[in-house]
Amino acid sequence: MSLIQHLINGELVTDNGRSADVFNPSTGQVIHQVPLASRETMQVAIDSAKAAFPAWRNTPPAKRAQVMFRFKQLLEQNEARISQLISEEHGKTLEDAAGELKRGIENVEYACSAPEILKGEYSRNVGPNIDAWSDFQPLGVVAGITPFNFPAMVPLWMYPLAIVCGNCFILKPSERDPSSTLLIAQLLLEAGLPKGVLSVVHGDKGAVDALIEAPEVKALSFVGSTPIAEYIYSEATKRGKRVQALGGAKNHAVLMPDADLDNAVSALMGAAYGSCGERCMAISVAVCVGDQVADALIAKLVPQIKALKIGAGTSCGLDMGPLVSAQARDKVSGYIEDGVSSGAKLVVDGRGLSVAGNEDGFFLGGCLFDRVTPQMRIYKEEIFGPVLCVVRVNSLEDAMQLINDHEYGNGTCIFTRDGEAARLFCDEIEVGMVGVNVPLPVPVAYHSFGGWKRSLFGDLHAYGPDGVRFYTRRKAITQRWPQRASHEASQFAFPSL
């Protein structure tokens, strides 16, 4: 069993304090130990970032971008190795892991455009002999706290953009699946990133609190559950930090009577059961407008759910691997039992699944509920597992009210052939990311990702243009060079043109 290390100031270092087990979810076996950083270890990383900042902020954006170009190439060359590590520690299939990495690489590509995205604005002669311009300047030391479900993609949402903007970055990844995250960071150093600009420090709440409380850390990015997002936002903002904290979700798909049902079913299968439902953009509620739509949807879903190919994520040709941990599997199973007790109809029960050769893995088959109501826990709370709930309503307006009343507003979608219905839905739905016949409306890297309501704490979304704004602050400069041999009298009124 190997010991995973921190990456601080360009070196792999060990923390001699507490540690945690890293499991292979497909076998249920412990495969690594990961250190849980002390405050002293975190402070070493913060100090190294602070020391590296002056030189890095003065590095031309074009040279920063050149590092990202080389980094992108190394990521592509190491795709198979990274995907294997993700699958071994998270449990998702190799194909899913490769797809995650590709979406992360898109954000590296966007970071490569640093000379363009960091251009300021200039206006000549805003007044007599007066020019004005704005400049985007880095914050200093910034940090990111990332979840287990996307150990490659979510960190790549954060630090490539933060770094090309001139900041130094400390990453606290999930302790459940840290190996791929660490390897990717090492590839960035191999691409030419100076020591201290990026550190990876493993840990738990103690490490998070150290980042929140450190005065040197100017901004925090977070992706995870809503209670932790709210905690980080509250504690960090009252210390004057800039915070971008993405929380939980309960994503609804609305199926209209005119929907292309076969395509909708295919989309829902991937969106609900891909990555074992462990996605903040997973569709967990299908809102059917009319009983006829609901009955037809269930009839088509049931055989496909029962036919899901489930096994060890590192095997090829699978639809779904295990959940990330025994605790996650048991928690989802508890939600299923609660749904049955609440009166929902369990149409497909995935509990008790055993995979030959991997009997100790954390497996759970696809589950489907019908007759779910808004009062049930399985409707209100984020399950984060392979469970799809069907809710029946009478109209599009009822469906939209249902979604708008929910505390989360991360993602949603509508399946319809009616342009008027789609436009009304896009205009009036109170959700941050909306798809029309697209089940997972995850924005591309040159847009920005984020929900509404209790799915996001902070004013700016992740990556894209909002990411540039988050990791920089604007400085406005007004400059005047009076003409020679001219003298102007003092002005005591507020200046104007």
Catalytic residue IDs: 280
* Helix or strand (DSSP H, E) at 370: strand 367-370
Contact 118, 468 (CB under 8 A): yes
Angle at 181 between CA 176 and CA 183, to 5 degrees: 125
Contact 282, 267 (CB under 8 A): no
CA distance 21 to 176: 8
Q: Can you tell me which residue has the tokens 């489930």? A: 310
CA distance 35 to 224: 21
What number of other Cβ atoms are within 10 A of residue 257's Cβ?
15
Which tokens sit at 100? 């995650």
Q: Hey, which residues does 23 pair with through a beta bridge? A: 30
Q: Hey, which residues does 415 pair with through a beta bridge? A: 255
75: left (phi over 0), alpha (psi -120 to 50) or beta: alpha
Nearest residue to 84 via CA among 100, 99, 98, 103: 98
Contact 408, 248 (CB under 8 A): yes
DSSP state of 471: T
End-to-end CA, the chain = 72
* Secondary structure (3-state) at 472: strand
* Secondary structure (3-state) at 231: helix
What number of other Cβ atoms are within 10 A of residue 239's Cβ?
13
* Residue 80 CB-density burial (10 A; 0-12 exposed, 13-18 middle, 19+ buried): exposed
Q: Hey, which residues does 472 pair with through a beta bridge? A: 138
* Residue 226 CB-density burial (10 A; 0-12 exposed, 13-18 middle, 19+ buried): buried
The DSSP result for 314-366, as a single string, is TSSS-SB---S-HHHHHHHHHHHHHHHHTT-EEEE--TT---TT-TTS-----
Rounded to the nearest 10 degrees, the angle between the axes of helix 153-164 and helix 94-111 is: 10
* Residue 446 CB-density burial (10 A; 0-12 exposed, 13-18 middle, 19+ buried): middle
